[in-house]
Amino acid sequence: MKRGMPIGRVLGMCALVAASVGGPLATPAAAQFLIVPMDGTQANHLKAYGLTYSVLTRAEKAEWLLNYRGGSFLLPDNSEVRRAAALRGVTVEPMAAGELASLRGMIAQSNMEAVPLEKAPKIAIYTPPNATPWDDAVTMALDYAEIEYETIWDDDVVSGRLADYEWLHLHHEDFTGQYSKFYITYAGAPWLQDEVQRNQELAARLGYRTVPDLKKDVARGIRKYVEDGGFLFAMCSATETLELALAAESVDIAAAFADGSPADPQATARMDWNRSMAFENAEVQIAPSVNAFSNIDGHQVNTPWRIELGAFTLFDFSAKFDPVPSMLTQSHVNVLPDFYGLTTSFARERLKPGSVVLAEEADRAKYVHGNFGEGTWTFYGGHDPEDPEHQIGDAPTDLSLHPNSPGYRLILNNVLFPAAKKKELKT
Protein backbone atom coordinates (compact mmCIF):
# COMPACT_ATOMS: atom_id res chain seq x y z
CA MET A 1 0.00 0.00 0.00
CA LYS A 2 1.33 3.43 -0.92
CA ARG A 3 0.65 6.82 0.58
CA GLY A 4 1.06 9.99 -1.42
CA MET A 5 4.01 12.27 -0.66
CA PRO A 6 4.90 15.53 -2.40
CA ILE A 7 7.87 13.96 -4.23
CA GLY A 8 6.49 10.42 -4.41
CA ARG A 9 6.15 8.38 -7.53
CA VAL A 10 3.41 5.81 -8.13
CA LEU A 11 5.01 3.11 -10.26
CA GLY A 12 2.81 1.68 -12.94
CA MET A 13 0.56 4.75 -13.06
CA CYS A 14 -0.23 6.38 -16.36
CA ALA A 15 1.61 9.61 -17.00
CA LEU A 16 -0.01 12.42 -18.89
CA VAL A 17 1.41 14.47 -21.71
CA ALA A 18 2.34 17.95 -20.54
CA ALA A 19 1.08 20.82 -22.64
CA SER A 20 4.20 22.78 -23.51
CA VAL A 21 4.36 26.25 -24.99
CA GLY A 22 2.60 25.96 -28.31
CA GLY A 23 0.97 22.71 -27.11
CA PRO A 24 -2.49 21.29 -27.80
CA LEU A 25 -4.27 24.64 -27.49
CA ALA A 26 -1.72 26.64 -29.42
CA THR A 27 -3.27 29.05 -31.96
CA PRO A 28 -2.17 32.31 -33.56
CA ALA A 29 -0.74 34.93 -31.21
CA ALA A 30 -3.91 37.01 -31.15
CA ALA A 31 -6.03 34.13 -29.86
CA GLN A 32 -7.57 34.31 -26.41
CA PHE A 33 -8.17 31.61 -23.85
CA LEU A 34 -10.30 31.32 -20.74
CA ILE A 35 -9.03 30.27 -17.36
CA VAL A 36 -11.65 28.66 -15.13
CA PRO A 37 -10.10 29.31 -11.70
CA MET A 38 -10.76 26.61 -9.12
CA ASP A 39 -9.47 28.41 -6.04
CA GLY A 40 -11.47 30.60 -3.68
CA THR A 41 -12.35 33.05 -6.46
CA GLN A 42 -14.60 30.52 -8.24
CA ALA A 43 -18.31 31.23 -7.79
CA ASN A 44 -19.45 27.70 -8.64
CA HIS A 45 -16.85 24.94 -8.50
CA LEU A 46 -19.28 22.13 -9.29
CA LYS A 47 -20.75 23.65 -12.44
CA ALA A 48 -17.21 24.43 -13.62
CA TYR A 49 -16.80 20.69 -14.22
CA GLY A 50 -19.97 20.67 -16.29
CA LEU A 51 -18.72 23.63 -18.30
CA THR A 52 -15.45 21.82 -19.05
CA TYR A 53 -17.30 18.60 -19.90
CA SER A 54 -19.54 20.50 -22.34
CA VAL A 55 -16.45 21.81 -24.18
CA LEU A 56 -15.22 18.23 -24.59
CA THR A 57 -18.60 17.05 -25.92
CA ARG A 58 -18.18 19.53 -28.78
CA ALA A 59 -14.75 18.03 -29.61
CA GLU A 60 -13.00 21.21 -28.49
CA LYS A 61 -9.74 21.00 -26.57
CA ALA A 62 -9.33 21.77 -22.88
CA GLU A 63 -6.57 21.42 -20.31
CA TRP A 64 -6.53 20.66 -16.62
CA LEU A 65 -3.89 22.76 -14.83
CA LEU A 66 -2.98 20.55 -11.90
CA ASN A 67 -2.04 22.38 -8.68
CA TYR A 68 -2.58 25.77 -10.34
CA ARG A 69 -5.16 27.76 -8.39
CA GLY A 70 -6.93 24.70 -7.04
CA GLY A 71 -6.77 22.68 -10.26
CA SER A 72 -8.03 25.22 -12.80
CA PHE A 73 -9.19 24.53 -16.34
CA LEU A 74 -8.02 26.17 -19.56
CA LEU A 75 -10.73 26.47 -22.21
CA PRO A 76 -10.96 28.10 -25.66
CA ASP A 77 -12.38 31.60 -25.60
CA ASN A 78 -15.43 31.78 -27.81
CA SER A 79 -18.99 33.02 -27.53
CA GLU A 80 -20.43 29.58 -26.83
CA VAL A 81 -18.11 28.92 -23.89
CA ARG A 82 -18.68 32.40 -22.46
CA ARG A 83 -22.44 32.02 -22.76
CA ALA A 84 -22.39 28.59 -21.13
CA ALA A 85 -20.25 29.94 -18.28
CA ALA A 86 -22.61 32.85 -17.71
CA LEU A 87 -25.67 30.57 -17.67
CA ARG A 88 -24.02 28.29 -15.12
CA GLY A 89 -22.67 31.10 -12.97
CA VAL A 90 -19.10 29.90 -13.46
CA THR A 91 -16.24 32.36 -13.02
CA VAL A 92 -13.93 32.63 -16.05
CA GLU A 93 -10.97 34.91 -16.75
CA PRO A 94 -9.65 35.80 -20.23
CA MET A 95 -6.01 35.05 -20.99
CA ALA A 96 -4.05 36.18 -24.03
CA ALA A 97 -1.60 33.89 -25.81
CA GLY A 98 1.38 35.76 -24.37
CA GLU A 99 0.04 35.39 -20.83
CA LEU A 100 -0.53 31.70 -21.45
CA ALA A 101 3.07 31.28 -22.60
CA SER A 102 4.25 32.84 -19.33
CA LEU A 103 1.95 30.56 -17.36
CA ARG A 104 3.33 27.50 -19.14
CA GLY A 105 6.82 28.57 -18.21
CA MET A 106 5.81 28.83 -14.56
CA ILE A 107 4.14 25.40 -14.71
CA ALA A 108 7.30 23.86 -16.16
CA GLN A 109 9.35 25.10 -13.18
CA SER A 110 6.98 24.12 -10.34
CA ASN A 111 4.88 21.32 -8.88
CA MET A 112 2.20 21.83 -11.52
CA GLU A 113 1.26 20.18 -14.77
CA ALA A 114 -0.94 20.97 -17.76
CA VAL A 115 -2.93 17.91 -18.75
CA PRO A 116 -4.78 17.86 -22.11
CA LEU A 117 -8.41 16.73 -21.89
CA GLU A 118 -9.46 15.12 -25.13
CA LYS A 119 -12.80 13.32 -25.06
CA ALA A 120 -15.85 13.44 -22.83
CA PRO A 121 -16.27 9.97 -21.30
CA LYS A 122 -19.59 8.20 -21.73
CA ILE A 123 -21.01 7.70 -18.24
CA ALA A 124 -23.12 4.91 -16.74
CA ILE A 125 -24.73 4.95 -13.30
CA TYR A 126 -25.55 1.53 -11.88
CA THR A 127 -28.91 2.04 -10.18
CA PRO A 128 -32.19 0.13 -9.78
CA PRO A 129 -34.99 1.02 -12.18
CA ASN A 130 -37.35 2.18 -9.44
CA ALA A 131 -37.01 5.07 -6.98
CA THR A 132 -35.31 4.19 -3.70
CA PRO A 133 -35.68 5.99 -0.35
CA TRP A 134 -32.15 7.38 -0.35
CA ASP A 135 -30.10 9.48 -2.72
CA ASP A 136 -26.97 8.99 -4.78
CA ALA A 137 -24.44 11.81 -4.36
CA VAL A 138 -22.87 11.14 -7.75
CA THR A 139 -26.18 11.30 -9.62
CA MET A 140 -27.00 14.54 -7.82
CA ALA A 141 -23.55 15.95 -8.67
CA LEU A 142 -23.92 15.07 -12.35
CA ASP A 143 -27.43 16.54 -12.51
CA TYR A 144 -26.31 19.75 -10.84
CA ALA A 145 -23.19 20.08 -13.00
CA GLU A 146 -25.29 19.35 -16.12
CA ILE A 147 -23.29 16.31 -17.17
CA GLU A 148 -25.16 13.66 -19.14
CA TYR A 149 -25.26 10.02 -18.07
CA GLU A 150 -27.22 6.82 -18.63
CA THR A 151 -28.49 4.32 -16.06
CA ILE A 152 -27.93 0.57 -16.15
CA TRP A 153 -28.89 -2.38 -13.95
CA ASP A 154 -28.07 -6.05 -13.49
CA ASP A 155 -29.51 -7.25 -16.78
CA ASP A 156 -27.43 -4.67 -18.66
CA VAL A 157 -24.24 -5.85 -16.94
CA VAL A 158 -24.96 -9.52 -17.54
CA SER A 159 -25.70 -8.86 -21.22
CA GLY A 160 -22.35 -7.09 -21.72
CA ARG A 161 -23.52 -3.48 -22.08
CA LEU A 162 -20.74 -2.14 -19.82
CA ALA A 163 -18.47 -2.11 -22.88
CA ASP A 164 -20.48 0.86 -24.16
CA TYR A 165 -19.21 3.15 -21.38
CA GLU A 166 -15.87 4.65 -20.35
CA TRP A 167 -16.88 5.51 -16.76
CA LEU A 168 -19.04 3.54 -14.34
CA HIS A 169 -20.37 4.56 -10.94
CA LEU A 170 -21.65 2.31 -8.14
CA HIS A 171 -23.12 3.66 -4.90
CA HIS A 172 -25.31 2.02 -2.25
CA GLU A 173 -25.81 -1.37 -3.85
CA ASP A 174 -25.15 -4.52 -1.79
CA PHE A 175 -23.42 -7.01 -4.09
CA THR A 176 -23.55 -9.74 -1.42
CA GLY A 177 -27.31 -10.06 -1.87
CA GLN A 178 -28.16 -9.22 1.75
CA TYR A 179 -30.17 -6.08 0.93
CA SER A 180 -27.73 -4.19 3.19
CA LYS A 181 -29.29 -6.00 6.18
CA PHE A 182 -32.02 -3.39 6.14
CA TYR A 183 -34.43 -6.01 7.47
CA ILE A 184 -32.90 -5.36 10.92
CA THR A 185 -34.46 -1.90 11.05
CA TYR A 186 -36.91 -1.76 8.17
CA ALA A 187 -38.57 -5.19 8.15
CA GLY A 188 -42.01 -4.81 6.60
CA ALA A 189 -41.25 -1.46 4.97
CA PRO A 190 -42.94 -1.36 1.54
CA TRP A 191 -39.79 -0.09 -0.22
CA LEU A 192 -37.71 -2.99 1.19
CA GLN A 193 -40.36 -5.55 0.22
CA ASP A 194 -40.40 -4.07 -3.26
CA GLU A 195 -36.60 -4.26 -3.49
CA VAL A 196 -36.56 -7.92 -2.41
CA GLN A 197 -39.31 -8.85 -4.85
CA ARG A 198 -37.74 -6.95 -7.74
CA ASN A 199 -34.33 -8.58 -7.24
CA GLN A 200 -35.78 -12.06 -6.84
CA GLU A 201 -37.87 -11.71 -9.99
CA LEU A 202 -34.91 -10.46 -12.00
CA ALA A 203 -32.65 -13.26 -10.74
CA ALA A 204 -35.24 -15.84 -11.73
CA ARG A 205 -35.83 -14.24 -15.13
CA LEU A 206 -32.10 -14.25 -15.88
CA GLY A 207 -31.75 -17.89 -14.81
CA TYR A 208 -29.97 -17.51 -11.43
CA ARG A 209 -30.76 -19.71 -8.45
CA THR A 210 -30.58 -16.87 -5.91
CA VAL A 211 -30.08 -13.10 -5.73
CA PRO A 212 -26.54 -13.55 -4.30
CA ASP A 213 -25.69 -15.71 -7.33
CA LEU A 214 -26.88 -12.94 -9.64
CA LYS A 215 -24.95 -10.27 -7.73
CA LYS A 216 -21.76 -12.32 -7.83
CA ASP A 217 -22.04 -12.58 -11.60
CA VAL A 218 -22.69 -8.84 -11.85
CA ALA A 219 -19.60 -8.22 -9.70
CA ARG A 220 -17.55 -10.41 -12.04
CA GLY A 221 -18.85 -8.40 -15.00
CA ILE A 222 -17.77 -5.17 -13.32
CA ARG A 223 -14.32 -6.61 -12.58
CA LYS A 224 -14.00 -7.63 -16.25
CA TYR A 225 -15.03 -4.12 -17.28
CA VAL A 226 -12.19 -2.63 -15.21
CA GLU A 227 -9.71 -5.26 -16.36
CA ASP A 228 -10.51 -4.39 -19.98
CA GLY A 229 -9.79 -0.68 -19.44
CA GLY A 230 -12.86 0.80 -17.76
CA PHE A 231 -12.83 3.51 -15.11
CA LEU A 232 -14.75 2.51 -11.98
CA PHE A 233 -15.77 4.96 -9.27
CA ALA A 234 -17.65 3.62 -6.24
CA MET A 235 -18.92 5.07 -2.97
CA CYS A 236 -20.71 3.88 0.16
CA SER A 237 -21.57 0.17 0.47
CA ALA A 238 -20.78 -0.64 -3.17
CA THR A 239 -17.05 -0.34 -2.44
CA GLU A 240 -16.96 -3.02 0.23
CA THR A 241 -19.67 -5.38 -0.99
CA LEU A 242 -18.31 -5.51 -4.55
CA GLU A 243 -15.01 -6.80 -3.19
CA LEU A 244 -16.71 -9.28 -0.85
CA ALA A 245 -18.79 -10.64 -3.73
CA LEU A 246 -15.68 -11.05 -5.91
CA ALA A 247 -13.80 -12.92 -3.17
CA ALA A 248 -16.80 -15.14 -2.41
CA GLU A 249 -16.65 -17.15 -5.61
CA SER A 250 -17.50 -20.43 -3.85
CA VAL A 251 -19.02 -19.04 -0.63
CA ASP A 252 -22.60 -18.32 0.37
CA ILE A 253 -21.67 -14.79 1.40
CA ALA A 254 -25.23 -13.74 2.28
CA ALA A 255 -25.02 -13.43 6.06
CA ALA A 256 -28.77 -13.05 6.20
CA PHE A 257 -31.64 -12.63 3.80
CA ALA A 258 -34.80 -10.68 4.53
CA ASP A 259 -35.98 -13.52 6.79
CA GLY A 260 -32.77 -13.49 8.86
CA SER A 261 -31.55 -16.93 7.83
CA PRO A 262 -27.99 -17.83 9.01
CA ALA A 263 -24.85 -17.51 6.92
CA ASP A 264 -22.10 -19.86 5.90
CA PRO A 265 -20.06 -20.04 9.15
CA GLN A 266 -16.86 -20.74 7.19
CA ALA A 267 -17.28 -17.75 4.88
CA THR A 268 -14.17 -15.90 6.04
CA ALA A 269 -11.87 -18.91 5.74
CA ARG A 270 -13.09 -19.75 2.25
CA MET A 271 -12.84 -16.29 0.68
CA ASP A 272 -10.49 -16.07 -2.30
CA TRP A 273 -8.87 -12.63 -2.25
CA ASN A 274 -6.96 -13.29 -5.46
CA ARG A 275 -10.22 -12.45 -7.20
CA SER A 276 -10.71 -9.02 -5.61
CA MET A 277 -9.25 -5.72 -6.84
CA ALA A 278 -8.70 -3.49 -3.81
CA PHE A 279 -9.01 -5.38 -0.51
CA GLU A 280 -7.73 -8.60 1.02
CA ASN A 281 -7.87 -10.79 4.13
CA ALA A 282 -11.10 -9.32 5.46
CA GLU A 283 -13.25 -10.98 8.09
CA VAL A 284 -16.87 -11.40 7.00
CA GLN A 285 -19.52 -10.32 9.50
CA ILE A 286 -21.87 -13.33 9.58
CA ALA A 287 -24.04 -12.31 12.55
CA PRO A 288 -27.53 -11.65 11.14
CA SER A 289 -28.21 -9.09 13.88
CA VAL A 290 -25.11 -6.95 13.22
CA ASN A 291 -25.54 -4.39 10.46
CA ALA A 292 -22.04 -4.51 9.03
CA PHE A 293 -20.55 -6.41 6.11
CA SER A 294 -16.97 -7.00 7.22
CA ASN A 295 -13.99 -5.36 8.88
CA ILE A 296 -13.05 -3.54 5.68
CA ASP A 297 -15.08 -0.55 6.86
CA GLY A 298 -13.06 1.39 9.41
CA HIS A 299 -16.00 3.19 11.07
CA GLN A 300 -18.51 0.30 11.49
CA VAL A 301 -21.28 2.87 11.46
CA ASN A 302 -24.29 0.70 12.40
CA THR A 303 -22.65 -1.30 15.17
CA PRO A 304 -22.22 -0.70 18.93
CA TRP A 305 -18.50 -0.16 18.32
CA ARG A 306 -18.97 2.58 15.72
CA ILE A 307 -16.26 5.25 15.46
CA GLU A 308 -17.37 8.88 15.49
CA LEU A 309 -16.66 11.19 12.58
CA GLY A 310 -13.70 13.52 12.40
CA ALA A 311 -12.07 15.16 9.39
CA PHE A 312 -10.09 13.65 6.54
CA THR A 313 -7.02 15.07 4.82
CA LEU A 314 -6.10 14.95 1.15
CA PHE A 315 -2.52 14.00 0.35
CA ASP A 316 -0.27 16.13 -1.84
CA PHE A 317 1.19 14.50 -4.93
CA SER A 318 3.75 15.51 -7.51
CA ALA A 319 1.76 16.72 -10.49
CA LYS A 320 4.56 15.70 -12.86
CA PHE A 321 5.39 12.25 -11.45
CA ASP A 322 1.99 11.32 -9.95
CA PRO A 323 -0.50 12.99 -12.31
CA VAL A 324 -3.32 10.49 -11.76
CA PRO A 325 -3.62 10.88 -7.95
CA SER A 326 -2.98 14.59 -8.46
CA MET A 327 -6.05 14.83 -10.69
CA LEU A 328 -8.19 12.87 -8.28
CA THR A 329 -7.28 15.11 -5.32
CA GLN A 330 -7.53 18.57 -6.92
CA SER A 331 -9.39 20.84 -4.50
CA HIS A 332 -9.37 24.30 -2.97
CA VAL A 333 -9.54 22.69 0.52
CA ASN A 334 -7.17 20.03 1.88
CA VAL A 335 -9.00 19.11 5.11
CA LEU A 336 -12.67 18.12 4.79
CA PRO A 337 -15.34 17.12 7.32
CA ASP A 338 -15.99 13.39 7.21
CA PHE A 339 -19.38 11.84 6.45
CA TYR A 340 -20.94 8.44 7.15
CA GLY A 341 -22.11 5.79 4.75
CA LEU A 342 -22.87 2.09 5.18
CA THR A 343 -19.16 1.87 4.36
CA THR A 344 -17.52 5.07 5.62
CA SER A 345 -13.79 4.40 5.43
CA PHE A 346 -11.33 1.60 4.71
CA ALA A 347 -9.06 -0.20 7.16
CA ARG A 348 -5.50 0.30 5.94
CA GLU A 349 -4.50 -3.28 6.76
CA ARG A 350 -7.22 -4.53 4.39
CA LEU A 351 -5.85 -2.66 1.35
CA LYS A 352 -3.88 -4.66 -1.20
CA PRO A 353 -0.25 -3.68 -1.91
CA GLY A 354 -0.05 -1.06 -4.63
CA SER A 355 -3.23 0.71 -3.59
CA VAL A 356 -2.81 4.49 -3.36
CA VAL A 357 -4.33 6.30 -0.39
CA LEU A 358 -5.61 9.66 -1.61
CA ALA A 359 -7.06 10.83 1.71
CA GLU A 360 -7.14 9.58 5.28
CA GLU A 361 -8.85 10.18 8.61
CA ALA A 362 -6.56 9.15 11.50
CA ASP A 363 -5.36 5.63 10.67
CA ARG A 364 -8.21 4.93 8.25
CA ALA A 365 -8.22 5.51 4.49
CA LYS A 366 -11.12 7.57 3.16
CA TYR A 367 -10.35 7.79 -0.53
CA VAL A 368 -8.28 5.16 -2.39
CA HIS A 369 -7.26 4.35 -5.94
CA GLY A 370 -5.59 1.58 -7.87
CA ASN A 371 -4.96 -0.09 -11.21
CA PHE A 372 -6.48 -3.40 -12.25
CA GLY A 373 -5.63 -4.84 -15.63
CA GLU A 374 -5.95 -2.06 -18.20
CA GLY A 375 -8.35 -0.01 -16.08
CA THR A 376 -8.61 1.70 -12.71
CA TRP A 377 -10.82 1.67 -9.63
CA THR A 378 -11.36 4.54 -7.20
CA PHE A 379 -13.27 4.11 -3.92
CA TYR A 380 -14.59 7.03 -1.85
CA GLY A 381 -16.07 6.07 1.53
CA GLY A 382 -19.33 7.56 2.75
CA HIS A 383 -22.69 8.48 1.29
CA ASP A 384 -23.13 12.26 0.95
CA PRO A 385 -20.29 14.77 1.44
CA GLU A 386 -22.68 17.51 2.55
CA ASP A 387 -24.91 15.39 4.81
CA PRO A 388 -22.71 13.61 7.39
CA GLU A 389 -25.47 11.35 8.80
CA HIS A 390 -27.93 11.03 5.94
CA GLN A 391 -30.82 8.74 6.87
CA ILE A 392 -33.27 6.83 4.71
CA GLY A 393 -36.18 9.14 3.95
CA ASP A 394 -34.21 12.36 4.45
CA ALA A 395 -34.63 15.05 1.81
CA PRO A 396 -31.98 15.05 -0.95
CA THR A 397 -29.13 17.50 -0.58
CA ASP A 398 -29.75 20.74 -2.48
CA LEU A 399 -26.45 21.31 -4.24
CA SER A 400 -27.41 24.88 -5.13
CA LEU A 401 -26.67 25.53 -1.44
CA HIS A 402 -23.23 23.92 -1.78
CA PRO A 403 -21.82 25.06 -5.16
CA ASN A 404 -18.27 25.12 -3.78
CA SER A 405 -18.38 21.79 -1.94
CA PRO A 406 -14.86 20.28 -1.79
CA GLY A 407 -16.33 16.86 -0.99
CA TYR A 408 -18.42 16.90 -4.16
CA ARG A 409 -15.42 18.20 -6.11
CA LEU A 410 -13.65 14.90 -5.41
CA ILE A 411 -16.54 13.09 -7.10
CA LEU A 412 -16.36 15.30 -10.18
CA ASN A 413 -12.58 14.98 -10.41
CA ASN A 414 -13.26 11.34 -11.20
CA VAL A 415 -15.67 12.22 -14.01
CA LEU A 416 -13.00 14.20 -15.91
CA PHE A 417 -10.14 11.83 -15.10
CA PRO A 418 -10.93 9.47 -18.06
CA ALA A 419 -10.81 12.45 -20.44
CA ALA A 420 -7.09 13.00 -19.82
CA LYS A 421 -4.57 12.14 -22.51
CA LYS A 422 -2.27 9.40 -21.27
CA LYS A 423 1.27 8.33 -21.97
CA GLU A 424 3.39 5.69 -20.27
CA LEU A 425 6.14 6.85 -17.94
CA LYS A 426 9.66 6.46 -19.34
CA THR A 427 11.02 5.38 -15.95
- Tell me: do 103 and 214 sit in the same domain: no
Q: How confident is the model at residue 29 (pLDDT cuts 50, 70, 90)?
A: very low
**pLDDT tens readout for residues 215-225:** 999 999 999 99
**pLDDT tens readout for residues 102-148:** 999 999 999 999 999 999 999 999 988 876 645 789 999 999 999 99
Could you give the C-alpha distances from 230 to 31, 188, 304, in angstroms and in order?
Answer: 36, 38, 38
- Tell me: do 70 and 174 sit in the same domain: no
Give the mean model confidence (pLDDT) for residues 384-409.
87
Q: How confident is the model at residue 22 (pLDDT cuts 50, 70, 90)?
A: very low
- Tell me: do 143 and 290 sit in the same domain: yes
Predicted local confidence at residue 426, as pLDDT:
32
pLDDT at 76 over 80: yes
pLDDT at 15 over 60: no
**Taking a C-beta distance cutoff of 8 angstroms, is the pair 359, 378 a contact?**
no
**Taking a C-beta distance cutoff of 8 angstroms, is the pair 46, 405 a contact?**
yes
- Tell me: do 142 and 58 sit in the same domain: no
Predicted local confidence at residue 299, as pLDDT:
87
- End-of-domain residue from the set 117, 133, 160: 117
Reference 51, options 99, 23, 86, 26; nearest CA is 86
Reference 180, options 270, 49, 297; nearest CA is 297
**Taking a C-beta distance cutoff of 8 angstroms, is the pair 7, 15 a contact?**
no
Predicted local confidence at residue 134, as pLDDT:
58
Beta-bridged to residue 233, according to DSSP, are 169, 378
Each residue of 346-383: b (16+ CB within 10 Å) or e? bbbebbbeebbbbbbbeebbbbbbbbbeebbbbbbbbb
- Tell me: do 95 and 129 sit in the same domain: no
Quote the longest CA-to-CA distance of the chain.
Answer: 72
| One-letter identity of residue 206 | L
Sign of CA pseudo-dihedral 20, 23, 25, 31: positive
Q: What whole-number distance in Å separates Cα of residue 315 and Cα of residue 312?
A: 10
* Mean pLDDT score of the chain: 85
**Taking a C-beta distance cutoff of 8 angstroms, is the pair 64, 71 a contact?**
yes
pLDDT at 405 over 70: yes
- Tell me: do 37 and 103 sit in the same domain: yes
- Tell me: do 230 and 335 sit in the same domain: yes
Total count of domains within the chain: 2
Where in the sequence is the domain holding 72, given as residue range(s)? Answer: 2-117
- Tell me: do 72 and 146 sit in the same domain: no
Reference 324, options 227, 421, 226, 224; nearest CA is 421
Predicted local confidence at residue 4, as pLDDT:
43
- Tell me: do 38 and 148 sit in the same domain: no
- Tell me: do 36 and 131 sit in the same domain: no
CATH number at residue 377: 3.40.50.880
